[in-house]
Amino acid sequence: MLFDFLKKYEIAWLKTANKQLEKLPKKDRSNIIAHIDDINNNPEALDFKKLSGFKDLYRLRVGNYRVILTINKIKKMTIISYVGNRKAIYDSIKRLSKISTYQ
């Protein structure tokens, strides 16, 4: 029930996230896209977690990959910000947080 409101939200991709997704192996890419499609169908079944230290930033766990997304409740949008391996994605976010207004 916590993420049930996402069923009505539009999904948008940042160019960076789209480029990151394109670099992944086809099998992993397909799996990630399927999980993102599930955001509108069954968000409760997905492994969402709010990232501490950020206002509206969440992570979606998909195997060894993480999808970092922003939920904009005013515009009713889910914005895919980053896609990457779990070992490297959090370092990217830390660098972003130093220069961004996400916090």
Question: What CATH number is associated with residue 11?
Answer: 3.30.2310.20
Q: Compute and round to an integer the Cα radius of gyration of the chain.
A: 13
Burial class of residue 91 (count of CB atoms within 10 Å of its CB; 0-12, 13-18, 19+)? exposed
State whether residue 8 is helix, strand or coil. Answer: helix
pLDDT of residue 75: 86
pLDDT at 100 over 50: no
Q: What is the pTM of this model?
A: 0.80
Taking only the tens place, the pLDDT of each residue in 31-52 is: 999 998 888 777 667 788 888 8
Look up residue 83 and give its two tokens: 């896609």
As for how many domains the chain has, the answer is 1
Residue 32 in contact with residue 83, Cβ under 8 Å? Answer: yes
Higher-pLDDT residue of 12, 56? 12
Question: DSSP assignment of 14-71, as one string?
Answer: -HHHHHHHHTS-HHHHHHHHHHHHHHHH-GGGS-EEEPTT-SSEEEEEETTEEEEEEE
Residue-number span of the structural domain to which 94 is assigned: 4-99
